[in-house]
Structure 1
Amino acid sequence: MRVGDSIYLDHQATTPIDPQVKLEMDPYLYDVFGNPHSSEHSFGWYASKAIDKARAGVAGLIGADPDEIIFTSGATESNNLALFGLMEFFNSARRRKLIVSQIEHKSIINIAKKLSNEYNVDCFYVKCDKYGLLDGEDIGQSLKDNSAAILSISSVNNEIGTIQNLIEITRLAKSHGTLVHVDASQAPCAIDIDVVKMDVDMLSLSSHKIYGPKGIGALYVRRDVQKLMKPMIIGGGQEHGLRGGTLPTHQCVGFGAAANVLKAHIASGERERLRKLKALFLAELSRAGINYSVNGPPENQRHPGNLNLCFHGCIAQDLLMATQPHVAASSGSACNSGVFEPSYVLKAIGLTEEDARASIRYSVGRYTTEKDVTCAVEYILRAYTSLNG
């Protein structure tokens, strides 16, 4: 995808809004502007009906029922509601353990830290192998004493694209009476989701990862689990009393539309097209003689749009800057006071600090073309040659 002189290859950070999604959102920015919670006039009725349709679209994407979808501001809020919303369950069930992995998104890692430091929750961090796949024996060990209230994992990793074996992990957790929360922000573009078959209790989603608008997400919560939860945002009792506040009709409509559009694109072979673009990307890098290696899992266990590459002999930040403004990608590094720290995910799968600092995530998407890929590699080659010249 090109925007001016720039090629966008950072689709796991965010995706552009699909034109069909924008078309469906437009009327709700202007004509149908009523408060969806105003039940005494037609303006509110039309808005409420639109949200019902959107909720059904999101539910249909994951095999849920519409009344199990709680709209939020995004996956980060969904993750917070899933874990903090069950604080009373931690206490009443006398289960004080939360199980997460070492390679979770920061929103989960930082929630776990807060629960541990301020609420006396025992947090267990599951190890992973060099591909980012979670260690089954480690999960089993963490569950052994039956003290775990919740196991929370990402179904698809945001940096290296690892697809976890959710059904196997969930089965193991359920055998010990542990609830399962899944951060599925990256999952819909990568895998088919069925919350019933996967037997998950809660699942977080993000609209802007599936070509919908930013500022809207959802938490799937199984009906019986909803009874255990307490709201984090207190308001007028919206969303079954679990998330107060007036719903943004246009954003909900956009999320629902994006879910429906995504299903159509998946059916037409979008994932396979992304895999072919990645294969072309790697072939072009090899043809150019660039010294690189691929971080993370093999293709059959990886997000179809994800490539995480180590450019040996380079520093990722230097290479990214040298390709600006022509190629948009990301390093996964965190910047604190101007000091760039290598990705904790890459270090967890065994990369040295030097290789982690040399790694960049490229992610192709719905509007990426073969020409975009070949041109991007040309820009990368120029920058790589310049930095190693």
Structure 2
Amino acid sequence: MPRIYLDYNASTPICQSARMAMAPYLEEAYGNPSSLHWAGQPARAGVEKARAEVAALLGASADEIIFTSGGSEANNLALKGVAFALREKGRHIITAAAEHPAILAPCAFLEKIGFEVTRVPVDGQCRVDPDAIARAMKPGTVLVSIMHANNEVGTINPIADIARVARRRGALMHTDAAQSVGKVETKVDALGVDLLTMAGHKFGAPKGVGALYVRRGTPLEPLIHGAGHEQGRRAGTESALLAVALGAAARDAADLAPLPQVKALRDRLWASLRAQFGNRIALNGHPEERLPNTANISFVGKVGADILSALDGVAASTGSACHSGHVELSPVLAAMQVPPEVGMGAIRFSLGRATTEAEIDAVAADLVRIMRDEMS
């Protein structure tokens, strides 16, 4: 079977626009963006153009964008930066049980140094109830951080509703939008957020670059102190090379016109498998409020890793880990309370703009063959 890539939620190929944007910065525009001479100014111009392009994708102003090394740094800066800046006001943070480790791990660190973290549950479709956020609020709540779309099952949270709850109680609102940028609208005013995380390699930029949107006036203590780069919010010489790649990828990501076709292919895969396997498969996540490219499918009673290993040449992800014959559900599926016999057979198929109908049909046919061989 030819190699087929269905793991776009893990990482994406570098888009042509990003590759072309980087080329001059490999040879010509090599100066330090902070330098005022002829070598530094082209680099500075590239960084600021990219900042404006990223801001345009989010409906933000350029001075509200901080370049980072990726989504994990952006999440850490949002959580710790707000916590440290507002620690005299309050020390309570709210997040959800099914967040990415880049949220849960910083929260665990903050707990070690005296902050309180409430992790609200998700429902069986991985959605956070705004009412659960309201019940968790306290006088000392300074930040609510809920992901826009879940990386494993694709469920989209009602961020605007959650943000209204946070705002009414005087808390700031952060969302990790690493998975949703370039797949659904991520305009910060529509979402009502004060901070938003994006990771470049999830939408066509290279690994090692991302950004944090910070609404004007939002207090934020830097994690990296130094010479005052990024308006004093993140020290370190900016990489013009990576910034221009992120900006170019952001331009491409703003065009959501190809996504209905991606969604149609995602649904084609599910319909094909459902027709063959019926109730022997299950869809994890919300059936409608879900990223258009993501299908997390469980093969009931099977082990997802075994099926994936038999799918020779197909790149996808499993929702469980197998250790010495024992299958352990992912924290996301566990938080959703997916039954073990269902969750252990989970495979995440995440499509991209380059995915073809022929690829989807080939994967569906191979899955039918694999299951037939198992039962024969």
Query: Contact between 2:304 and 2:320, CA under 8 Å: does it hold in 1?
Result: no
Matched residue, 1:33: 30
- Cα distance in 2 for partners of 1:112, 1:346 equals 20
Matched residue, 2:281: 292
Matched residue, 2:98: 103
Matched pairs, number: 375
CA shift for structure 1 position 339: 6.5
Q: 1:337 to 1:27 in 2, by over 3 A?
A: farther
Q: Which segment is superposed worse, 287-296 or 211-220?
A: 287-296
CA deviations 1:141-163 (Å, max 9, x no partner) are 111x3221100010111111111
Equivalent position amino acid for 1:298 in 2: P
Residue of structure 1 aligned with 2:316, choices 329, 333, 339? 329
Q: CA RMSD in A?
A: 1.8
Matches within 5 A, 1:285-324: 285-289=273-277, 291-299=280-288, 301-324=289-312
Equivalent position amino acid for 1:309 in 2: I
**SS in structure 1 at match of 2:165:** helix
Residue of structure 1 aligned with 2:126, choices 122, 132, 142? 132
Matched residue, 2:179: 186
**SS in structure 1 at match of 2:217:** helix
Q: 1:232 to 1:28 in 2, by over 3 A?
A: same
Structure 1 position 247 matched with structure 2 position 238: yes
CA shift for structure 1 position 340: 5.3
Unaligned runs of 5+ in 1: none
Structure 1 position 58 matched with structure 2 position 45: no
- Cα distance in 1 for partners of 2:65, 2:55 equals 6
Give aligned-pair identity as a percent.
37
Structure 1 position 380 matched with structure 2 position 375: no
CA shift for structure 1 position 334: 5.2
**SS in structure 2 at match of 1:232:** coil
Matches within 5 A, 1:1-389: 5-39=2-36, 41-93=37-89, 95-116=90-111, 118-143=112-137, 145-225=138-218, 228-264=219-255, 266=256, 269-289=257-277, 291-299=280-288, 301-324=289-312, 326-333=313-320, 341-389=328-376
Q: 1:287 to 1:354 in 2, by over 3 A?
A: closer
- Cα distance in 2 for partners of 1:255, 1:320 equals 32
Query: Contact between 1:59 and 1:66, CA under 8 Å: does it hold in 2?
Result: yes
CA deviations 1:239-262 (Å, max 9, x no partner) are 111111111111110100001012
Query: Contact between 1:314 and 1:387, CA under 8 Å: does it hold in 2?
Result: no
CA deviations 1:265-310 (Å, max 9, x no partner) are x1xx2121111101211222234447311111022x0000000001
Unaligned runs of 5+ in 2: none
- Cα distance in 2 for partners of 1:292, 1:275 equals 19
**SS in structure 2 at match of 1:307:** strand
- Cα distance in 2 for partners of 1:286, 1:332 equals 19
- Cα distance in 2 for partners of 1:335, 1:311 equals 15
Query: Contact between 1:96 and 1:147, CA under 8 Å: does it hold in 2?
Result: yes
CA shift for structure 1 position 355: 1.4
Q: What is the TM-score of this pair, normalised by structure 2?
A: 0.95
Q: What is the TM-score of this pair, normalised by structure 1?
A: 0.92
CA shift for structure 1 position 342: 1.0
- Cα distance in 2 for partners of 1:312, 1:336 equals 19
**SS in structure 1 at match of 2:318:** coil
